[in-house]
């Protein structure tokens, strides 16, 4: 069990680092424009600024996808496919690289894929991105919006993960809310995981545009850690491109103050706030951030990996890949397993 103690300490460190990074980034300003120097050392495929004549991922695909997404009801994101990422084998890379779809004929971004590794993370602060004007861009400000500007230039693959600055194929118009409350906690989780483990994370962000709308309805974000088959980190979520208190026309990005102030009041009262302390690796299951009260004290079957210090539901795909000598089947409460120093698998989120 000596091995486990070390693992526990490292996990605690990871969680603390994650919480700190979430808090720090929220309190700094993640989305303003700074003008310091640029470092991007990820090898990149396809980053020229030509546009694509065919309209990949068009109307039908977006509408099909959104048909399964609940309307926004206060949480910044929802789970997709039970939070399990959905990469095909040929969509997965195991070394650090990035690919950004060409802009379509309306100038809109497509999918951004990246294998995030420690060698691709920037060592310098972000450069000026104000030269890029993504589709749907407007400059309205509201005094109740964090940072005041309704819209941010949102990186699909965050600068902190890629070093990307003013790359048009990687920047969309997104609300301050989507950027900070939706995407940022997941970006921070990837960054913290890669920094801590030196492992790679396969990551894909797809903006979802309906028809010929210029403003995305949101972004679909998927990630899976490579060296441990998703044990350390895995998620599949959709972040809503909305702003509490503002009505948005997705066709153009035009916006105005909402007459109904309920959503803004609930948001300001913290009703749907993501608690950094409960983030752990990634919140699980229902989107109602890590509220596991309903299963507290319930005895059930779990599978422990005594090598990695993770625990799983028995039907998790990672269990099949586990070596027998590392496997321990238990019937216990979640709390008992946590007390032994095990942490939940990022894939099955037990």
Query: Under the rule (CB under 5 A), what is the footprint of Zn ion?
Result: 312, 316, 318, 345, 347-348
Nearest CA to 46 among 122, 2, 111?
111
Q: What token pair was written down for 222?
A: 């998927």
Closest separation in Å from C-beta 320 to Zn ion: 10
Closest separation in Å from C-beta 144 to Zn ion: 40
Element containing residue 203 per DSSP (H, E): strand 201-208
Closest separation in Å from C-beta 230 to Zn ion: 7
Query: Which spans in the chain are helix H?
Result: 2-27, 59-67, 159-162, 176-177, 184-197, 262-268, 276-279, 317-320, 334-339
Closest separation in Å from C-beta 217 to Zn ion: 31
Q: Which is nearer to Zn ion, 138 or 327 (CB)?
A: 327
Say if residue 310 is exposed, middle or buried (CB neighbours under 10 Å; 0-12, 13-18, 19+).
Answer: buried
Closest separation in Å from C-beta 318 to Zn ion: 4
CA distance 72 to 183: 15
Q: Which is nearer to Zn ion, 178 or 348 (CB)?
A: 348
CA distance readout (Å), 126 to 154, 193, 206, 342: 13, 21, 22, 36
Q: Which is nearer to Zn ion, 30 or 225 (CB)?
A: 225
* CA-derived radius of gyration, the chain: 20
Q: Which is nearer to Zn ion, 179 or 347 (CB)?
A: 347
Where does residue 63 fall: left (phi above 0), alpha (psi -120 to 50 degrees), or beta otherwise? Answer: alpha
Q: Which is nearer to Zn ion, 116 or 345 (CB)?
A: 345
Closest separation in Å from C-beta 32 to Zn ion: 38
DSSP β-ladder status, 97-100 and 44-45: parallel
Q: Which is nearer to Zn ion, 154 or 343 (CB)?
A: 343
Q: Which is nearer to Zn ion, 176 or 318 (CB)?
A: 318
For the chain, how many residues are written?
A: 350
Closest separation in Å from C-beta 335 to Zn ion: 18
């Amino acid at each position: 069990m000596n091995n486990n103690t070390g693992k526990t300490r490292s996990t605690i460190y990871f969680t603390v680092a994650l919480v700190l990074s979430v808090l720090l980034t929220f309190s700094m300003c993640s989305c303003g424009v700074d003008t310091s120097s640029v470092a991007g050392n990820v090898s990149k495929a396809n980053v020229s600024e030509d546009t694509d004549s065919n309209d990949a991922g068009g109307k039908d695909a977006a509408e099909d996808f959104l048909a399964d997404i609940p309307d926004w009801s206060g949480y910044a994101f929802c789970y997709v496919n039970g939070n399990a990422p959905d990469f095909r084998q040929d969509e997965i890379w195991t070394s650090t690289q990035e690919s950004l779809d060409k802009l379509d004929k309306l100038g809109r971004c497509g999918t951004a894929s990246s294998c995030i590794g420690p060698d691709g993370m920037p060592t310098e602060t972000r450069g000026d991105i104000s030269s890029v004007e993504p589709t749907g861009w407007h400059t309205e400000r509201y005094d109740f919006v964090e940072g005041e500007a309704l819209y941010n230039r949102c990186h699909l693959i965050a600068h902190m993960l890629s070093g990307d600055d003013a790359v048009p194929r990687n920047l969309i118009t997104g609300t301050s809310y989507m950027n900070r409350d939706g995407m940022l906690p997941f970006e921070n989780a990837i960054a913290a995981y890669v920094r801590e483990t030196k492992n790679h994370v396969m990551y894909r962000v797809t903006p979802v545009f309906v028809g010929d709308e210029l403003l995305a309805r949101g972004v679909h974000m998927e990630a899976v850690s490579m060296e441990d088959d998703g044990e350390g980190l895995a998620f599949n979520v959709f972040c809503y491109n909305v702003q509490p208190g503002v009505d948005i026309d997705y066709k153009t990005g035009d916006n105005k103050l909402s007459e109904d102030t309920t959503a803004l009041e609930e948001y300001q009262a913290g009703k749907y706030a993501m608690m950094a302390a409960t983030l752990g690796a990634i919140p699980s299951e229902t989107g109602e951030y890590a509220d596991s009260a309903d299963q507290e004290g319930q005895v059930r079957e779990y599978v422990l990996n005594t090598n990695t210090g993770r625990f799983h539901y028995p039907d998790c795909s990672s269990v099949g890949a586990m070596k027998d000598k590392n496997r321990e089947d238990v019937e216990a409460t979640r709390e008992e397993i946590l007390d032994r120093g095990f942490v939940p698998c990022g894939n099955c989120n037990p």
